[in-house]
Structure 1
């Protein structure tokens, strides 16, 4: 049985260079998604949402494998938004809205997710399960770079993106700031964390 892995199928999107920004074209993709607000370091909802997402993601995977189509569970991703994008560079995390994501193969349906949620709830009735949804997202033209190191050290790179790269290339924001967490932060030293930083853009 061939095993689908989104990181291999879309290598340019999941393995960018850390040396400089690159422009990519992101196609329509599907995700398990959960919306929330506030500081991810202190929010109990943020932690519960991650637990619910992974519980459902693995349940979906095992059901799909049993039906003859296997895939690797994708890394955690997140969309970040705020009324003032400057809060991302300043680190004002209490002002952040977020959507946690786990990519899903295109053959995964709403019914498959609903079934997985029901099975996950039977094992552990997390309240976050009621807010999971299947999201279709098309980001299109985007600028991205690989950040290596602690999450709190992203601010200089984002400042450079917002105030140098985008103006120099005649570009502006066209969607939420997007991060892809290629490591498990619970098992990886902060200095070795690898995070894709992505910003959908359009001509200014």
Structure 2
């Protein structure tokens, strides 16, 4: 019998606790990705992206089990978020200004050829609107600080402000890259107050003033 891997349990990068800000060295990982812009609550493109990623992810899962003998649980939905003015996340929360990339992680053994075959199979029957926009791409984040948020997405602002302005500088880091969320709960089915989301921010060592040693 083929062993089914649950990456949410197997990978340290998917572990977080509410109220604890943890430094994690995230390995390079491959994702199915779709880009978009605007308020996820009102943008048709956001819903279309979700509806497109999952059929491709499940075609890959079934092909991996059938052709390679390697089965796995499709990991949780993830998102990269950014804006020209990052206060849009922590204070103003003007979602119309947000850019995003929705993602589903796929194992490193999923090849470009397997991805292309999965796209063709999804295309052959009831192809989702944004299928041409799906890509397979590696994400390299390296060192990150992350925590678990329990509750509505609209209640993230205080946690993010604390993370950005107090926790990260206090650890001797500065922010790089973009804000990353991992949706451990299915927000289409779970009440907002019970949603569990990993909030992740890539970081690097804070540059010290000229002539001084770098902060550790």
Q: CA deviation at 1:15?
A: 2.3
The 5-angstrom pairing of residues 118-137 of structure 1 reads: 118-137=120-139
Separation (CA, whole Å) in 1 of partners of 2:127 and 2:4:
30
Once residues 20 and 71 of structure 1 are traced to their aligned partners in structure 2, the CA distance between those partners, rounded to angstroms, is 29
Tell me, in whole angstroms, the C-alpha distance in 1 between the residues paired with 2:174 and 2:84: 15
Unaligned 5+ segments in structure 2 are: 207-216
Match of 1:58 in 2: 58
**What whole-Å deviation, never above 9, does each CA across 1:102-126 have from its counterpart, x for those lacking one?**
0001100111111111111222122
Q: Return the index of the structure with the highest Cα Rg.
A: 2
Q: CA RMSD in A?
A: 1.0
Q: Does the residue aligned with 1:45 lie in a helix, a strand or coil?
A: helix
Gaps of 5+ in 1: none
Which residue is 2:13 aligned to?
Answer: 13
* Equivalent residue runs for 1:1-204 within 5 Å: 1-10=2-11, 12-67=12-67, 68-89=69-90, 90-204=92-206
Q: How far has the Cα of 1:151 moved from its partner?
A: 0.7
Give the whole-Å Cα distance in 1 for the aligned partners of 2:29 and 2:87.
Answer: 27
May I ask how many residue pairs the two structures share in their alignment? Answer: 203
Deviation at 1:127, TM superposition (A): 2.8
CA distance in 1, matches of 2:34, 2:130: 8
> 4+ runs of 1 displaced by more than 6 Å?
none
TM-score of the two chains, using structure 2 as the length reference: 0.91
Q: Deviations over 1:7-52 (max 9, x none)?
A: 1221x32121112211000011010011111111111111011111
Provide the secondary structure at the position in 1 that maps to 2:17: coil
